[in-house]
Amino acid sequence: MQLAREAEQFKRQALAESTKSTYRSQLNSFLRFCIYYGRSHLPADQLTLKCYVSFLARSLNPSSISGYLNVVRILHLNAGLPNPLLENWELAMVKRGVARRLGRPPVQKLPITVDILKSIFPLLDLSNVADLAFWAAALVGFYGLLRKNTLLPVSASSISKAFLLRSDVVEFSRHSFLLKIRQTKTIQFGQRVLVLPFVSCLDHALCPVSVLLRHLVTSPLPGTCSLFSYFADGRVHLWTHASFVAFLKLCLSRLGFQPGSFSGHSFRRGGCSACFQAGLSITDIKLRGDWRSQSFERYLYVSAGSVYRGARALADFAGR
């Protein structure tokens, strides 16, 4: 029946590709566990679930365990079976015990700050189109508080409307431009378009407007190309997630930083912190970063000096 086939197609398209990839990895983990320990995966009984939590606790942060269990729930619901996690008191107690015994604060990647950007700039040769495209991506990611999935494609063959295209830059002038964000973590179904303004910066090296304009003029390509693609050696190249982060870590290593402490998400965290330090309101930061909740607060990076100044101000006030 045609409608049934269409329904199945829509069902398969319900999840983003990145979510499907995560679920596949987590499902494989559960299936390997069941095979190795001789447990039934469908339906999974109480003992299997409790043992699986104990197994995961050997290598995962307790906060990650719920995600792996969620795939077990999905596996059962897809098979038409009851959710084995629902109102499961014993399983909840095992998870709580793991959190109490092994819980630890999450390790966040460090932010890319203005000072770090200023240090990276002398390492680049902007007469090289690849370096210029990298720098344009870095500045747009920083000032736009963008997620890596929005900024760059996963691979050269990616077919997605999630990452930025040349056509997403509109109303370009010498002093500003607008960037249309068509899909993000919070814009999954085309329900709206986020439009971010970018304005020129007094520091020419850190100016997203002048750098992006130079990049676009140097590598004129169709609007359907990735925004940070470039033309060299007679063909089109582009920065992907992996190549961008690898080059970033190379630069950071040359500067004496621990490259493993940074990631592509460091630009989003650094931009968020810079907005806070610049005095933007909480509402403005949420709008620019497209956060739906207060979760952005964990991105804020407050230096030790700022914390000390706060303590000093409090002591001075109390000592009057």
Query: Would you say residue 34 lies in a domain?
Result: yes
Residues 224, 219: Cα–Cα separation, whole Å: 14
In which domain, by residue range, is 79 found? Answer: 2-102
Give percent of the chain above pLDDT 70: 91
Residues 203, 118: Cα–Cα separation, whole Å: 10
- pLDDT of 289 reads 84
Question: SS3 sequence, the chain?
Answer: CHHHHHHHHHHHCCCCHHHHHHHHHHHHHHHHHHHHHCCCCCCCCHHHHHHHHHHHHCCCCHHHHHHHHHHHHHHHHHCCCCCCCCCCHHHHHHHHHHHHHHCCCCCCCCCCCHHHHHHHHHHCCCCCHHHHHHHHHHHHHHHHCCCHHHHCCCCCCCCCCCCCEHHHEECCCCCEEEEEECCCCCCCCCCCCEEEEEECCCCHHHCHHHHHHHHHHHCCCCCCCECCEEEECCEEEECCHHHHHHHHHHHHHHCCCCHHHCCCCHHHHHHHHHHHHCCCCHHHHHHHHCCCCHHHHHHCCCCHHHHHHHHHHHHHHHCC
Tokens of 70: 């969620």
- pLDDT of 201 reads 87
Helix axis angle for 62-78 and 89-102, nearest 10°, is: 160
What's the pLDDT tens digit per position in 242-273? 999 999 999 999 999 999 999 989 999 999 98
pLDDT, averaged across the chain: 88
Query: Would you say residue 307 lies in a domain?
Result: no
Give mean pLDDT, residues 22-29. 94
56 and 154 part of one domain: no
Backbone phi and psi for residue 19, each to the nearest 5 degrees, phi listed first: -70, -40
213 and 95 part of one domain: no
Give percent of the chain above pLDDT 90: 56
What's the pLDDT tens digit per position in 98-110? 999 987 777 788 8
Handedness of CA 13, 15, 16, 20 (dihedral sign): negative
Query: Would you say residue 309 lies in a domain?
Result: no
97 and 121 part of one domain: no
- pLDDT of 176 reads 92
282 and 196 part of one domain: yes
What's the pLDDT tens digit per position in 125-161? 999 999 999 999 999 999 999 988 889 998 777 656 6
128: which residues sit within 8 A by CB, 6+ positions away? none
57 and 121 part of one domain: no
- pLDDT of 108 reads 81
Query: Residue 14: how many CB atoms within 10 A of its CB?
Result: 9
168 and 199 part of one domain: yes
Looking at per-residue pLDDT, the higher value among 316 and 227 belongs to 227
- pLDDT of 312 reads 65
Amino acid at 208: P
209 and 276 part of one domain: yes
Query: Would you say residue 304 lies in a domain?
Result: no
132 and 157 part of one domain: yes
Looking at per-residue pLDDT, the higher value among 311 and 171 belongs to 171
270 and 132 part of one domain: yes
82 and 230 part of one domain: no
- pLDDT of 27 reads 95
- pLDDT of 134 reads 97
Q: Count how many domains the chain has.
A: 2
The pTM assigned to this predicted structure is: 0.81
What's the pLDDT tens digit per position in 146-200? 988 889 998 777 656 678 999 999 988 888 999 998 887 777 777 888 889 999 9
Amino acid at 23: Y
CB-CB contact of 230 with 129 (8 Å): yes
Tokens of 249: 């870590």
Tokens of 244: 């961008």
Let me know the angle formed at the C-alpha of 120 by 117 and 126, rounded to the nearest 5 degrees.
105
CATH number at residue 62: 1.10.150.130
Tokens of 96: 């709580």
Residues 128, 252: Cα–Cα separation, whole Å: 19
Please return the burial class of 302, using the count of CB atoms within 10 Å of its CB with bins 0-12, 13-18 and 19+. Answer: exposed
CATH number at residue 202: 1.10.443.10
Query: Would you say residue 109 lies in a domain?
Result: no
91 and 46 part of one domain: yes
158 and 291 part of one domain: yes
What's the pLDDT tens digit per position in 271-309? 998 888 888 888 888 888 888 777 667 766 666 566 566
